Amino acid sequence: MKILIKLTGTFFCILLSSTLTAQKPPEKYGHIEVEDLKAIICPIDSNAHAYYLFDFGKSDFDFPDKKIMINEGTNKGFKVTFERHFRIKILNQAAFSEADIEFPVYRGAWGSDDVDFVKASTYNLENNAVVGSKLEKSAIIKEKVNENLTLYKFPMPNVKEGSIIEVNYAISSYITGNLQDWNFQHSIPALKSEYHVSIPEYYSFSMNMKGYANIEVKEQEGSQTLVLEVYERGSGSNIVRYDDAKYDYRYILYHFTGQNIPAFKEDGFLKTKDTYLSAVEFELQSYQFPGEAYRNFTNSWQTVITTLLNDGAFGEQIKKSVIPADDINLLRQKGATGTDLMHLTHKFITTKMRWNEKSQLFISNTLRDAYNKGTGNSAEINLCLLQMLRELGFDAYPVTLSTQEHGIINRVHPSINDFCYVVVAVTLDENMYLLDATEPSSGINLLPIRCLNDKGLLLRENAPLTWIDLQEKAVYKVQTLYNLSLDATDLGFKGSIDYNTSNYAAYIHNLQYSKNKTKENQIEYLQKENPGLNILGSEITTPDYSNYKMKEHYDVSVKNAAETAGDLIYFSPLFYETTSENPFKLQKRDYPVEFNFTYGIYNSVKLELPDNVTVEALPQSVSIILDTEKSAKFVYNVTQSGNTIQISSQLSIYKLLFLPEEYENLKDFYGQVVAKQNEKIVLKKN
C-alpha cells in the first residue's frame, strides 16, 4: 500500500535534508603539517599578517523525526545543519585579533538555533613538534545582542607569532529562514575557500553570487530515498507500527570553490565592504512537498509594501492616533504653513524625543509608549513624526531603506529583509521632501549620513511603485577664508579664519558643534585637531531650519606652520585645509568608489607679508579636469600683488559613484590634487 504522509505543515519555510550529504571536509581536524607551522610568509600576499589555510563549510539536510503518526504528520520536519571548519595561520602580532572568534546564533518565533558542537585548538611548533592547546568550554562567552541574536565568542588559547588556529563548529535548526550564505573573501587572504550545499527538488532557491573573486561552481544531480516509519493509534493508548512511507526525490549538490582569494583591502570612500565581498547568497523562492499545495515565497515589491503597511509593528501603528491634541494645536497656533510648518514639526519631534541609537525598521514598543517616554528607536521616532505630519494635514508616507552599514538593496529580488530603516517623505506643491528626526542636526532633505545609500522605497498602497534617490540632493559645500599676516620675527601668522558651510558641510560642522555642547569646548576641540592653532576669539552662527547654513569666524594666531633653511622660509599656503595624503592607496581596486555627496570645496587664502620679506617661489596655477568636467575638477590659482599673496583652490566632485575601471584615473587625479596642495611658498628674509 502506498501511503501519503504530510511531511510539512505551517512549521516549514526552509529545508535542508540530512540524507543529502555534502562531501567531507578537505582536511581532518587536528592533522597539522609541520611545514605550515614553519611558514613565515603568505604564499599569495607577502604583506599579509595572517591567512586562511582553508575555510570549509557545508549545509546538510536531515529529517530526524522518522517515526510519525498516520494522519498526524510531524511537528518538526526538516532540519538544517551548517558546519564550518577553518584554519588560520598567524604570521605576526598584527594578526592576533584574528584569533578572537565569534559566530551568530539566532532565535525566532518557531524556535532557536542549536549549537551542536564547538571544537577549537591553537597549534605551535616546539622542538620541531606540533603542540596543541585546546579551547576550554568555559572560555566560550555567550553574548546576548537582542532577543533574536546571541554571539558565541571566544579567544583562542596560547596564540603566538607563527601559530595555527583551527576552529570547527556546527549549528542546526528547525527555524524557517534562508539557506546559510557563505563568504569566500575576508580581511585576510585565503588559500582555499569551499562551500557545499545540497538542495532537494522540493525547494527552489535563488542564488546570488557577489564580489570579484573567481569562484568555481559545480552542480551534481543525484537521488535519495527518505524512509519514514508510520505508526497508528490502536485501542487505548497502544501505538502500533502501520507501514513504511518511502519518498524518492532528486537533489542538486552545489560545490563552490575559490582558490588564492586575496584579502579584501578597504580603501577610501566605501560605505560597507559587505556589499562587495565575494560571497554566495540564497533566498527561498518556493517549495512543494508531497500531498501539499505549492507555496510561493517570491515577493513583488507591491507585496512587500502591502505586508509592511499591514504589519502590527509597522503600518498598523501609523493608523492609531498617538499624538495628543494639545501638541497638534500648539503647532497649529504658530500660524506656519508649508515647509515652515514642516520645519517646526520636525524640530518639535527632535526636541520631544531622544534617539536610543538603535536603527530599526520595526518598533520595539508601541508608538504611544515611545512618544510618552520621549525616547525610542529610529522607527518609533520617525513614525511618530509621520503621524504628526499627517495630523497637521501633510501628505506624508514612510520610506523604507537600507543603511550604509546594512548594504545596498537588491531591487531584482524583492525582500523585506533588505530594509532596516524608515524615514518620512512629504509631498508638497509637486515637490518631495525627506525627513528623519533621530538627530537634531538633521533637517528637510538632510538625512543622517547613514541613510545616504542608493534608493529608498516609498510605501503607498494602490499607487505606482516609486523608488526615491536618497542622495539626489546630497551636496557638501564649504567656503573657507583665511586672512593672515606673517610675522617674520617668530614665523607666526595672525588674522582670521572663516568657514561658510551649507547642506551636508553645515550638517557635519553643526553635528560636531552639538557634540562639543559649548563654544569653549568647540575651541578646545579645534585647537587639539589643528596643532599650532590658537583661537583668540570666535563667533558662530548655527543653522536654522529655513536656511541650512552655518557660519564660523575665528580670530587666530598660527604657530609652527613655517620652517626655515638659512634665510629661506617655507610653508604650505592652504594651512589646515591641505590634504596631507591621497585617500586612495590600492594599486587596483575591484569595487566602486562611493561618495556620500557631491562636493564643492572652496578655499581662499590672503597673506600679507612684512616689508623685510620677499617672495622667492610660488606654486604654479593649475587646472585639472577628470573626464571632461563630468566627474571632478580642481582649480588652483596663485597671484601676487606687492606684499599680498592670494591663493584660491576649488575641488569639485560631481559624481557619487566611480566604477573599478575608473579608479586609476580618480586615484591619479587625487594624487595631483594632494601634490599641488602640499607645494610650498618660499620666502626670503632681506
Is the pLDDT score of 21 beyond 50?
Answer: no
Sorting pLDDT into bands at 50, 70 and 90, what band is 605?
very high
3-state DSSP assignment of residue 328: helix
Give the model's confidence band at 9: pLDDT under 50 very low, under 70 low, under 90 confident, else very high.
very low
CATH number for position 329? 3.10.620.30
Looking up cell 562531501, which residue turns up?
A: 23
Q: Does one domain contain both 570 and 515?
A: yes
Position 9 in a domain: no
pLDDT of residue 292: 79
186 in the same domain as 70: yes
- Long-range (24+ apart) CB contacts under 8 A made by 28-34 are 29/85, 29/119, 29/166, 29/168, 30/121, 30/132, 30/166, 32/123, 32/130, 32/132, 32/164, 32/166, 34/125, 34/128, 34/130
Q: Is residue 432 part of a domain?
A: yes
- Dihedral sign (CA 76, 78, 79, 80): negative
pLDDT at 47: 95
102 lies in the same domain as 174: yes
Residue 2: pLDDT over 80? no
Give the residue, 11 or 99, on which the prediction is more confident: 99
Give the confidence band of 46 by pLDDT, cuts at 50, 70, 90.
very high
pLDDT at 145: 84
Say yes or no: 498 and 349 in one domain: no
Looking at the fold, whether 47 and 127 belong to one and the same domain comes out as yes
- For residue 236, pLDDT over 90 is answered with no
**11: in domain:** no
Write 34-38 long-range contacts (CB < 8 A, 24+): 34/125, 34/128, 34/130, 36/89, 36/164, 37/123, 37/124, 37/125, 37/130, 37/162, 37/163, 37/164, 38/125, 38/162
The string over 521-546, giving b where at least 16 C-beta atoms fall within 10 Å of a residue's C-beta and e elsewhere, is ebbeebeeeeebbebeebebeebeee
* pLDDT reading at 72 higher than 70: no
Residue 109's pLDDT band (boundaries 50, 70, 90)?
low
Q: Would residue 363 count as lying in a domain?
A: yes
How high is the pLDDT of residue 73? 56
pLDDT reading at 101 higher than 90? yes
pLDDT of 14: 27
Q: What are phi and psi of 188, to 5 degrees?
A: -125, 155
Domain boundary (277, 296, 315) is at 296
Residue 6: inside a domain, yes or no? no
Whether residue 431 is found in the same domain as residue 488: no
pTM for the structure as a whole: 0.86
What pLDDT is attached to residue 76?
67
| Alpha carbons 648 and 508: distance in angstroms, whole number | 23
Cell reading at 194: 569551499
**Closest by CA position to 654, among listed 644, 640, 642, 669:** 669
248 and 387 together in one domain: no
Encode pLDDT of 350-361 as tens digits.
Answer: 999 999 999 999
CB neighbour class for 15 (10 Å; exposed up to 12, middle 13-18, buried from 19):
buried
Q: Are 648 and 573 in contact (CB under 8 A)?
A: no
Task: Give the C-alpha separation, 271 to 404, whole Å.
Answer: 5
Q: What is the pLDDT of residue 299?
A: 78
Give per-residue pLDDT as tens, 616-636. Answer: 999 999 999 998 778 999 999
DSSP character string of 125-141: EETTEEEEEEPPGGG-E
Tell me what pLDDT residue 295 has. Answer: 84
Mean predicted confidence (pLDDT) in 407-412 = 92
Do 34 and 84 fall within a single domain? yes
Residue 133, pLDDT score: 98
Query: Do residues 667 and 530 both lie within one domain?
Result: yes
Euclidean distance between the first and the last CA atom of the chain, given in angstroms as a whole number: 112
Would the pLDDT of 62 be above 60? yes
* Confidence at 310, pLDDT banded by 50, 70, 90: very high
pLDDT at 220: 94
* Band of residue 321 on the pLDDT scale cut at 50, 70, 90: confident
Same domain membership, residue 489 and residue 349 = no
Residues near 116 by beta carbon (within 8 Å), at least 6 away in sequence: 81, 169, 170, 171, 172
For residue 547, being part of any structural domain is answered with yes
Q: Does the structure show a pLDDT above 50 at 7?
A: no
User: How many CA atoms lie within 13 Å of 456's alpha carbon, on the beta-carbon side?
Assistant: 31
At 178, is the pLDDT very low, low, confident or very high (cuts 50, 70, 90)? Answer: low
- Per-residue pLDDT, 12: 27
- CATH assignment at residue 637: 2.60.120.1130
Same domain? 371 vs 515:
no
Helical ranges in 405-558 per DSSP H:
503-516, 519-529
Per-residue pLDDT tens for 121-131?
999 999 999 99
At 23 the pLDDT is: 55
SS3 462: coil
Q: Judge whether residue 16 has pLDDT over 60.
A: no
Q: Span 151-167, mean pLDDT? A: 98
How confident is the model at residue 5, as a pLDDT? 37
Cβ-contact 348, 376 below 8 angstroms:
no
pLDDT category at 71 given cuts 50, 70, 90 is low
The more confidently predicted of residues 662 and 240 is 662
Question: Once rounded to an integer, what is the mean pLDDT over residues 238-263?
Answer: 86
Average of per-residue pLDDT across 306-315: 94
Q: Is residue 392 part of a domain?
A: yes
Q: Kindly give, in sequence order, each residue whose CB lies less than 8 Å from that of residue 668, ignoring residues fewer than 6 positions away.
A: none
How big is the CA angle at 124 (ends 121 and 128), to the nearest 5 degrees? 140
Among residues 469, 500, 518, the one where a domain terminates is 469
Assign 61 a pLDDT band (cuts: 50, 70, 90). Answer: confident
What was the pLDDT predicted at 107?
81
Q: What is the pLDDT of residues 192-208, one digit of tens each?
A: 999 999 888 888 888 88
pLDDT beyond 50 at 534: yes
- Average the pLDDT over 438-467 and give the result: 96
Q: What is the DSSP letter of 262?
A: P
Residue 75: band (very low, low, confident or very high) from pLDDT cuts 50, 70, 90: low
* pLDDT interval class at 1 (50, 70, 90): very low
The domain that holds 65 is classified in CATH as 2.60.40.3140
User: What is the CA 191 to chain-centroid distance, rounded?
Assistant: 26
Work out the number of other CB atoms within 10 angstroms of the CB of residue 428. 15
Element (DSSP H or E) covering residue 301: helix 301-309
Task: Give Cα separations from 398 to 321, 327, 426, 435, 536 (angstroms).
Answer: 16, 21, 9, 10, 47
Is pLDDT at 602 greater than 70 in this prediction?
A: yes
Q: Are residues 37 and 143 in the same domain?
A: yes
Q: How confident is the model at residue 593 (pLDDT cuts 50, 70, 90)?
A: very high
User: 278, 296, 314: which is the final residue of a domain?
Assistant: 296
Is 451 part of any domain? yes
> How many separate domains does the chain show?
3
Query: Does 138 have pLDDT greater than 90?
Result: yes
Range of the domain at 398: 302-469
- For residue 304, the SS3 value is helix
Find the helix or strand (DSSP H, E) in which 317 lies: helix 315-318
